[in-house]
């Protein structure tokens, strides 16, 4: 039984393959996902551990985790003022295609390299067609949403006054507790 109830993968290598990690750099075939993520964390590879969480979680759960983490890192006062984050929070509360497309539109106003824009893209690529509504459906690659959700969290963490603490908090929110001795 996994310690990560939202993760459907039973082996870490299933997730690292989604991430594009070569098998020679991947964990043992039988290692559970939470064990590999903890090994990354314990080795000081916090960015990699966060990317692993983003890929391991189902798409909606990954976006919801990332949205909460980005909101915490931005600070509550600032979070309420941003139209992109407002659209993302609305979609997380009621995930439908209309809201998903509204998030995509709201992202136009966000800075190109911002965590908010990365997260908006994660929402848009989380499911449903990425083509125009009047065109034949085109589904996104399944790993893109998790990759962008994790990138949003990592980017937001490095914009805080204390990136290691922000990364640790995001890991904890993703189900990975930091050891007591870790910053």
pLDDT digits (tens, 9 = 90+) for 22-80: 988 889 989 999 899 999 999 999 999 999 999 999 999 999 999 999 999 987 445 45
pLDDT score, position 176: 54
Note whether residue 76 is domain-resident. yes
Note whether residue 143 is domain-resident. yes
Q: Give the separation between CA 159 and CA 104, rounded to whole angstroms.
A: 23
Nearest C-alpha neighbor of 174 from the set 46, 86, 83, 84? 46
Write out pLDDT tens, residues 154-183: 999 999 999 999 998 898 887 654 443 333
Note whether residue 52 is domain-resident. yes
Write out pLDDT tens, residues 94-137: 999 999 999 999 999 888 889 999 999 999 999 988 988 889 88
Note whether residue 141 is domain-resident. yes
Domain of 67 in residue numbering reads as: 1-178
Note whether residue 71 is domain-resident. yes
DSSP conformation letters of 78-147: HHTT-HHHHHHHHHHHS--HHHHHHHHHHGGGS-TT-HHHHHHHHHHTTSS--S-TTS---PPPTTHHHH
Note whether residue 26 is domain-resident. yes
Q: Residue 113 is encoded by which pair of tokens?
A: 């390299």
Nearest C-alpha neighbor of 122 from the set 159, 75, 156? 156
Q: How many domains does the chain have?
A: 1
- pLDDT top residue among 98 and 8: 98
Rg, C-alpha atoms of the chain: 16
Predicted model pTM: 0.88
Note whether residue 183 is domain-resident. no
Note whether residue 79 is domain-resident. yes
Nearest C-alpha neighbor of 51 from the set 183, 180, 167? 167
């Amino acid at each position: 039984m996994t310690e990560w109830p939202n993760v459907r993968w039973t082996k870490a290598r299933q997730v690292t393959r989604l991430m594009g990690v070569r098998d020679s750099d991947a964990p043992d075939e039988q290692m559970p996902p939470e064990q590999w993520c903890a090994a990354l964390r314990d080795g000081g590879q916090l960015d990699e551990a966060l990317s692993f969480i983003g890929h391991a979680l189902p798409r909606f759960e990954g976006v919801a985790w990332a949205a909460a983490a980005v909101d915490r890192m931005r600070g509550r006062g600032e979070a309420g003022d941003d139209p992109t984050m407002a659209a993302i929070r609305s979609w997380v509360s009621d995930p439908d295609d209309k809201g998903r497309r509204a998030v995509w539109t709201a992202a136009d106003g966000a800075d190109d390299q911002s965590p908010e824009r990365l997260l908006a893209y994660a929402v848009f690529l989380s499911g449903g067609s990425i083509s125009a509504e009047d065109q034949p459906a085109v589904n996104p690659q399944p790993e893109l949403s998790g990759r962008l959700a994790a990138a949003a969290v990592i980017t937001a963490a490095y914009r805080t006054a204390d990136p290691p603490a922000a990364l640790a908090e995001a890991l904890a929110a993703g189900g990975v507790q930091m050891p007591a001795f870790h910053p």
